[in-house]
Amino acid sequence: MLDNILSILVFFPAIAAIFGFAVAKDSIRAYGVAVAFIEFALSLLLWFSFDSSVSGMQFMEMVPLVPAFGINYILGVDGISLFIVILASFFTMIGIASLGETKNVKNMIISLLFLQMTMAGVFVALDAIVFYVFWELSLVPMLYIIGAWGGPLRIYASVKFFLYTFTGSLIMLVGMLFMAYFYYQATGTWSFAFLEWYRLILPETFQLWLFGAFFIGFAIKVPMFPFHTWLPYAHGQAPTIGSVILAAILLKMGTYAFIRLSLPMFPDASVFFMFPIAIIAIIMIIYTAMVAYAQEDIKQVVAYSSISHMGVIILGTFALNVEGITGSIFLMIAHGVVSGALFLLVGVIYDRRHTKMMAEFGGLASVMPRYATIFGIMLMASVGLPLTINFVGEFLSLLGFYQQSHILTLLAGIAIIVGAIYMLSAYKKMFFGEVTNEENRNLPDVNKRELVALVPLVLITVWLGVYPKPLLDPISNSVKSVVQLMHDKAISEEAKTRIPNLMDGVTRVKETN
């Protein structure tokens, strides 16, 4: 079973979803939870059988798909992708478990299970075409979730989401085909396998163009400034579950793809574009933080703060050293947990009041103390308070980038501190003061079903904030090999110096021996 565990992880939810059509409407929720739980258990099994000391790919599977054109179904997992896969199955589980009253709940749960397949697929695919298949396929269930269960502007929001990402990924597809063609020219066979592509050293001009093509696809997905405009709409209109999955997992596809594809394949271009991208990332952090401050809708505040944090992830990624990239991967997990939790929390209050305007609330702390506590913890985590999960990631990301540029890191650091202002002020508006609105006076506190979803998230937030080592070790192991690969492949002098050579230390030790 362990030989094929990745295929099982990918296709189990889809097959279960097809069987789900036969389940009666009033029992579908239990079915969904059961399937998602099995999927989560499988992903935990993957973690336990994962060998943390190995830096390369594990549990690899290969089936030829279109050998005439070099397309193979290749799966594999390493420290970089492992935890995102677990996170995805975890969020699908608690997402389905905490699903409130929904019309057509059957269609929703089946869509979520299909979405789970595509999410798992993207993160374990090691062939560009298979990766692309899952990457694009993930748009379809999300389109349906936003478009069918969203707010009043849902159709506009869902179509915008779809077309934006679709356009970007088609340009990425052209880049992939180019890459395969270069490989064909260099070796005489077609191949779309990532691991084969890693071995290819491209001339710098080609690297710049290809980096650009991939960048457009990934940047729209992240979304990076100035391609971010689809996200606030999507979040604003999406149902709670849609926002949670979108923020926690789908956005990570972009940042993950940077680390999986752009960095190891185009090391010189990555160095060349390091500062421009870092500047975009810092603009993203500061600008969206300011926009978040101006919002009156709590969900938009969370949405913009989520974009802001994605900026830190990008900054860490483009530090191009072990600390930065490890930090950014850890921050992906952290951001997933925290922003997912915040969207769930917004959903809790929206279910009760059917409004997300902060002006409608006030003094909720006295009415819903448990809710206020959980919200407070998650908010502190989002701000990056030490001993919470976000802090570890942010700190490492910034530490990594500090080695490349002091000033830019300082700017980003200040921006993160400023980020605390809008979050705290939002918290103040909602929870403190007198209860001014009569409708708020008798709101029920969080119920059991919501607690089932929220309490594990709180526990993870604190646990990984205090003791992040179980995650950091496997991640940094795999990151080291990526960084070393980049250093070895780099052509230009600047790239050789910017990307650290990790073998230096090892060889020196050997010489002294």
Partner 1 sequence: MLEPVNVSLESLNLMTLAPMLIPIIGALLILIIDIFKSDLDKTLYVMISIIFLLMDLGAIAQTAGIFNESGTIMGVFDVMLIDGLAILAQLIIVGASLLFIPLALTHSRFHEFSYSEFFALFLFMLGGFQFMVATDNLILIFVGLETSSLALYTLIAMHNRDKAFEAAVKYFTMGALAAGFFSFGAMVFYALTGSIEINQIATVLTENGFADMGFVLVGTTFLLGAIGFKLSLVPFHTWAPDVYEGSSAATAGFMSIVPKIALFVVAMRMFEFLIHSGVVWLEIILYIVVVVTMTAANIWALVQNDVKRMLAYSSISHAGFVMAAVLIGTTQSNSALFLYWILFSFTNLGAFSMLWISRQKHLPLHQSSDHSYNKFAGMVQTAPVAATIMGLFMLSLAGIPPFALFWGKLYMISSAVSGGYTVLALIMALNSAIAGYYYLKLIVFMFMRDPVINKDGHVFVSNATHPLRTIIGFAAVGTIFAFVAINPVLEFITALVFKSGY
Q: Which of 23, 45, 170, 290 binds partner 1 (CB under 8 A)?
A: 170
Burial class (CB in 10 A: 0-12, 13-18, 19+), 151: middle
Q: Is 19 in the site for partner 1 (CB under 8 A)?
A: no
By beta-carbon proximity to partner 1, the closer residue of 160 and 498 is 160
Smallest distance from partner 1 to CB 171, Å: 6
| Given 38, 45, 60, 159, the residue binding partner 1 (CB under 8 A) | 159
* Tally of helices (H runs) and strands (E runs) in the chain: 25, 2
Instruction: Spell out the long-range contacts of 395-398 with Cβ–Cβ below 8 A and sequence spacing 24 or more.
Output: 395/327, 396/316, 396/323, 396/324, 396/326, 396/327, 396/328, 396/330, 396/331, 397/312, 397/313, 397/315, 397/316, 397/319, 397/324, 397/327, 397/328, 397/331, 398/312, 398/315, 398/316, 398/327
What is the C-alpha separation between 370 and 125, in angstroms, rounded?
41
Q: Which stretch binds partner 1 (CB under 8 A): 25-33, 77-85, 165-173, 393-401?
A: 165-173
The least CB distance from residue 146 to partner 1, in Å, is 9
Instruction: State in angstroms the smallest separation of the CB of 64 from partner 1.
Output: 8
208 binds partner 1 (CB under 8 A): no
Instruction: Report d(CA 333, CA 327) in Å as an integer.
Output: 10
- Lookup: tokens for 185: 């020219």
Residue 491 lies near partner 1 (rule: CB under 8 A): no
What is the identity of the amino acid at 213?
A
State how far the alpha carbon of 187 is from the alpha carbons of 180, 190, 200, in Å.
Answer: 10, 8, 10
User: Helical H runs in 21-104?
Assistant: 28-48, 79-97
158 vs 484 by CB, closer to partner 1: 158
Shortest spacing between CB 150 and partner 1, in angstroms: 9
Tokens of 243: 């926002």
> In the bound complex, what is the minimum distance in angstroms from residue 372's beta carbon to partner 1?
36
By CB under 8 A, tell whether 501 contacts partner 1. Answer: no
Q: Is 137 in the site for partner 1 (CB under 8 A)?
A: yes
Write the binding mask 39 to 78 for partner 1: x where contact by CB under 8 A, - elsewhere: -------------------------xxxxxx---------
Candidate ranges 83-91, 166-174, 237-245, 300-308; the one touching partner 1 (CB under 8 A): 166-174
For tokens 């499988």, what's the residue?
Answer: 42
Q: How far is the CB of 273 from partner 1 (least distance, A)?
A: 20
Amino acid 181 reads: Y
Structure token pair of residue 180: 């395969």
Q: Decide whether 32 or 175 has the Cβ nearer to partner 1.
A: 175
128 contributes a contact to partner 1 by CB under 8 A: no
Is 163 an interacting residue with respect to partner 1 (CB under 8 A)? yes
Q: How far is the CB of 168 from partner 1 (least distance, A)?
A: 9
**Residue 55 and residue 480 in contact, taking contact as beta carbons nearer than 8 Å:** yes
Min dist CB 197 to partner 1, Å, is: 15
Q: How many Å apart are CA 257 and CA 259, to the nearest integer?
A: 5
Number of residues that bind partner 1 (CB under 8 A): 35
Tokens of 388: 């919470």
By the 8 A CB rule, do 296 and 318 touch? no
The b/e string for 310-343 (b: 16+ C-beta within 10 A; e otherwise) is bbbbbbbbbbbbbbbbbbbbbbbbbbbbbbbbbb
Asked if 202 touches partner 1 (CB under 8 A), the answer is: no
Q: Which of these ranges, 83-91, 174-182, 262-270, 354-362, lies near partner 1 under the rule CB under 8 A?
A: 174-182
Amino acid at 126: L
Tell me if 136 contacts partner 1 by CB under 8 A: yes
We find the least distance from the C-beta atom of residue 136 to partner 1, in angstroms, to be 5
Phi, psi of 190 (to 5 degrees): -80, 140
Counting contacts by CB under 8 A, is residue 31 touching partner 1?
no
| Total residue count of the chain as it appears in this document | 513
x/- mask, partner 1, residues 78-107, rule CB under 8 A, reads: -----------------------------x
Q: How far is the CB of 142 from partner 1 (least distance, A)?
A: 13
CB 160 → partner 1: shortest distance, Å? Answer: 10
For partner 1, the binding residues (CB under 8 A) are 64-69, 107, 129, 132-133, 136-137, 139-140, 143-144, 147-148, 154-155, 158-159, 162-163, 166-167, 170-171, 173-174, 177-178, 180-181, 184
